[in-house]
Amino acid sequence: MANSYDLIVIGGGPGGYAAAIKAAQLGMSVACIEKRVGKKGPALGGTCLNVGCIPSKALLDSSHKYTEAQHDFATHGIGVEKVSFDLVKMMDRKDKIVTQLTGGIEQLFKANGVTWLQGHGKLLAGKKVQVKDTDGNEKTYDAKNVILASGSEPIDIPVAPQDGTHIVSSTGALEFSEVPKRLGVIGAGIIGLELGSVWSRLGAQVTVIEAQEALLPMVDGQVRKEVQKLLKKQNLTIHLGAKVSKAKVDGDVVKVAYTDAKGEQTAEFDKLIVAVGRKVNTDNLFGEGLELTMAERGMVQVDESCRTSIDGVYAIGDLVRGPWLAHKATEEGIVAVEVIAGHKAAMNYDAIPSVIYIHPEVAWVGLTEEAAKENGYDVKTGSFSFAANGRALAANDSNGSVKVVSDVKTDRILGVHIVGPQASEIIMQAVIAIEFAASTEDLQLVCFGHPSLSESLHEAVLAVDNKAIHAAPKRKR
């Protein structure tokens, strides 16, 4: 095994492993350091593949199919008696998917000639990297370039100390051995709502406690209101403007005290998930004597090409500015490697999609109507309901709508916001449009296939200029 590399990547998550593979494809000698040990041994893939995006989506899909069989099959004329689920099989399926994908990355490393250094990586002065393995052995390597991609981890709050059994993080919420009758969730963000949805579908009585006054404040206001109504219909109880003051385990019960507009409140749960956000994972990441400029919340300061204040050292993903999303980290890793290779590379942070995988899904890209106005744009908007979309009606999945926000002056599309079936897929059409600076008229002139869910995006774009075919025109002021 070599003692020096053209590039050493610290972190084997979506950003780190993609950067390592790309660098190897460009002819560099590459090592990637990853310390994670999963159920079946050391594992690549970071939080996303092991205890985040992938396992949660596996459970979301399984639980949604169960809900469909219970409530929706009859609409299609399909009779199913005594619908049941096997939680052990659900969990086993989830674990197999994780193993398949993480093992796949290991095979990609071998195929591309990337060296996997198992252990904890630490950046030292002079672009040296120390690796400490699981047995405590240390070895130092030299690198011409280093990419920091150590990611983030769930926040543990003092008022709700986790015991790993009754009070858990998002990781623990993916491992319940049985469905809790009463489930509490602290935090109504993306993670909290997704996990709450999984267990609600399987029979848990779910209560979400959120400190902020508005649900999903980063989502467009019109879409946010629609999401809140849909979640209420799904029997998720959400308390907004509610601050938890204490949560403690008493026997097999979690007792929670919180304060809202009505005063002091109490609640009891069988399980409590703490999903209040994440923090950068920089524990023992830096050695002494590093002249590394840091940013807010413990993040690393970087320029538009992910360069840090140390020549030859880059940082990506959750360590740096921008949304903490796996696909954002991946693209930043690619950009950093291209820059290292001497190529021109850039990333458009205005064209990064966000998705919440509840049902119906919520997805958006670009500016909300509120943000566009705050930034000085004179905006025009158009919306279209899936209730008027033939494909959605045929699938008995017609809740939600598409909203388009455009600039009056230039006609450029500023943002697209969707709540509805397959929003995570439809939004990519909007991402491409924004990436290529498309105008509203550009999409209006595109021929969309019929019947398709994507026609709702077309109708929403037409509605921006009061041209929608399958919706009543706006009233003139």
Q: What is the pLDDT of residues 275-334, one digit of tens each?
A: 999 999 999 999 998 999 999 999 999 999 999 999 999 999 999 999 999 999 999 999
Range 196-207 average pLDDT: 98
The token pair at 35 is 């310390």
Q: Closest Cα to residue 477, out of 407, 402, 380, 386?
A: 380
167-276 shares the fold of 4-154+279-347: yes
User: pLDDT per residue over 234-273, tens digit each?
Assistant: 999 999 999 999 999 999 999 999 999 999 999 999 999 9
Radius of gyration of the chain (CA): 24
Domain ranges of the chain: 4-154+279-347, 167-276, 352-464
pLDDT at 51 over 70: yes
d(CA 390, CA 454): 11
For domain 4-154+279-347, give the CATH number.
3.50.50.60
Task: Say yes or no to pLDDT of 435 above 60.
Answer: yes
CATH topology of domain 352-464: Enolase-like; domain 1 (3.30.390)
Asked whether 132 and 46 are in contact (CB, 8 A), the reply is: no
Token pair listed for 370: 């509120």
* pLDDT score of 477: 56
Handedness of CA 420, 423, 426, 429 (dihedral sign): positive
Cβ-proximal residues to 192 (8 Å cutoff; 6+ apart), any chain: 185, 186, 208, 210, 273, 275
Q: What is the mean pLDDT of the chain?
A: 97
CA atoms of 52 and 257, how far apart (whole Å):
28
Q: How far is CA 257 from the centre of its chain?
A: 29
- Percentage with pLDDT > 90 across the chain: 96
Closest CA to 301 of 286, 319, 317, 289: 319
Greater model confidence, 39 or 150: 150
Among all chains, which residue has been given the structure tokens 């409140």? Answer: 265
CATH architecture for residues 167-276? 3-Layer(bba) Sandwich (3.50)
Positions annotated as catalytic residues are 450
